[in-house]
Structure 1
């Protein structure tokens, strides 16, 4: 059969089909992953939801209260003011990380794509922060940005930029942006690897054909290469959103459990941590469980919407 025949519906129908695994064998292979998911994800999630529907006195379960713990988050202080502010910080963290990671990560991937020399070295260099614990990264940057002995402010003063030598983590107007930039700096290597792999999967003939048609370099990138990267952009966006909404180690390391200064770095995970372990409330289990479920609903719901939107965008392009 010729290559042309293989592209026709008849040719496709004549291809050899891979035999499917028996149902029992398939279930046997899926069982370990399913068991791990049920024990470490599904069971804790269901348990947290049931905890959120009861009142608690320490570790003793009280009466069934339904949605009262959830209502408490939006009607009683300090949650009525802290929860919306923390959600806003999580969304800002997502937006900032998206802008930096998608732009810088894609730029690095494009620059390294056709440069064989030192490509592996720079890929490893940019990926190293991603392999380090976020808590360590946060404490490291808190030392680097210290207004007393931090090398960042010392360097700014030495080059004559004393006006920029600020108390970065002590000023509410700059503290959250430091969290955003540190988070993006640590994770920029991950989208770089994904975009690099996607660029490697694009046939060079597509770019060569566009070049022969007279398209310039920017035109080839924005009209040919970028649309082909939409699936990867969708993956990076969803993973960045999940990571931003679950962010805890870096905000904790830079601003402490209270989201200092003045709650400028407060996020939902910090509220959960304070409620569960530092509040001293008799109903700490019920309130903290409701925070966890609320956060899960937001992450799951918006992730599904993002995924569907990117899939629709892919269908329109292809």
Structure 2
């Protein structure tokens, strides 16, 4: 009787164990449809000639060669790549630096800390397109709020057509993006600060550490994981920058391609513009998407390996 009773119980446990493995299948199907398939499709499209929306003959790496060696594609690619690099550098310095500083202040349990956390994160709740159009109005050279404030302060010499000047347009967009993403960085860094054992901080204070010495010897080394996380996320976001640029300057990276990024350049190639012939637009766009994906993947992998080594050493 015991064996006959144990056998069905064992079968039910075995079936339950196998049933658990079925739950990820819907998520895997969706991931394959909306992530893996587009990546593989873009890779395959880059090896073919295209006549409008119709796929032509297999041409190997010709689209990649054209992208890097044929004008105006080559110069536009490196121009956009340079802008993405500047995007990343300024965001790391301005956005992440300011987020780290604000998170450290909030961590000190100042009055109104909860309000400041909500206030800093509030812009993140807005749509990127809404943010872009809002700041486009603020930076308008004729009636924009920024120039009006400068005029009221008697600083007319500082007034500019912020989005119309090639020297300031890209920097203005990057600073708007820093404003938009600041709250997320504050939360990440604040979580890192709150994860530091209070015993270590108290022990350091008893040893006489305070101010900058406390920050350099205790907080910064223990904040490396949070800094690495924000560095990786900022890198990926910087090289995928599209929505804000598109909302504020359109698909041509105006003025004179001074705000062009790789994602905006891809949009023009894939969906047509004056810089791409109809016969090769989809192939060139797919080649650019493949190059961008591989670049982000390789750099992110190397960054993660470096971060893991730092964790092991610590």
Output the aligned Cα RMSD. Answer: 1.4
| Preserved CA contact (<8 Å) 1:134 1:250 | yes
Q: In structure 2, what is the equivalent of residue 156 of structure 1?
A: 150
| Displacement of 1:61 | 1.1
Is 1:44 equivalent to 2:41 in the alignment?
Answer: no
| Preserved CA contact (<8 Å) 2:272 2:281 | no
Is 1:80 equivalent to 2:74 in the alignment?
Answer: yes
Is 1:269 equivalent to 2:263 in the alignment?
Answer: yes
| Displacement of 1:23 | 6.6
Unaligned runs of 5+ in 1: 1-21
TM-score by length of 2: 0.91
| Displacement of 1:278 | 2.7
Supply the distance in 2 between the matched residues of 1:149 and 1:28 (Cα, whole angstroms): 59
Supply the distance in 2 between the matched residues of 1:291 and 1:193 (Cα, whole angstroms): 34
Supply the distance in 1 between the matched residues of 2:99 and 2:268 (Cα, whole angstroms): 34
Per-residue Cα deviation, 1:225-267 (whole angstroms, up to 9, x for no partner): 1111111111101011111100001111222111111111000
Any idea what SS the aligned residue of 2:49 has? strand
Per-residue Cα deviation, 1:6-44 (whole angstroms, up to 9, x for no partner): xxxxxxxxxxxxxxxx87355323323322221110011
Any idea what SS the aligned residue of 2:71 has? coil
2:283 to 255, 262, 286: 286
TM-score by length of 1: 0.90
Any idea what SS the aligned residue of 2:21 has? helix
Supply the distance in 1 between the matched residues of 2:69 and 2:278 (Cα, whole angstroms): 17
| Preserved CA contact (<8 Å) 1:138 1:254 | yes
Unaligned runs of 5+ in 2: 1-15
Q: In structure 2, what is the equivalent of residue 223 of structure 1?
A: 217
Q: In structure 2, what is the equivalent of residue 125 of structure 1?
A: 119
Supply the distance in 1 between the matched residues of 2:147 and 2:294 (Cα, whole angstroms): 41
| Preserved CA contact (<8 Å) 1:275 1:281 | no
The residue correspondences of 1:141-180 to structure 2 (distance < 5 A) are 141-180=135-174
Supply the distance in 1 between the matched residues of 2:111 and 2:208 (Cα, whole angstroms): 29
Per-residue Cα deviation, 1:142-195 (whole angstroms, up to 9, x for no partner): 110111000100110111111111111111111111111111110011110011
Give 4+ residue runs of structure 1 displaced > 4 Å after superposition. Answer: none
Q: In structure 1, what is the equivalent of residue 6 of structure 2?
A: none
Supply the distance in 2 between the matched residues of 1:23 and 1:232 (Cα, whole angstroms): 36
| Displacement of 1:85 | 0.6
Is 1:106 equivalent to 2:88 in the alignment?
Answer: no
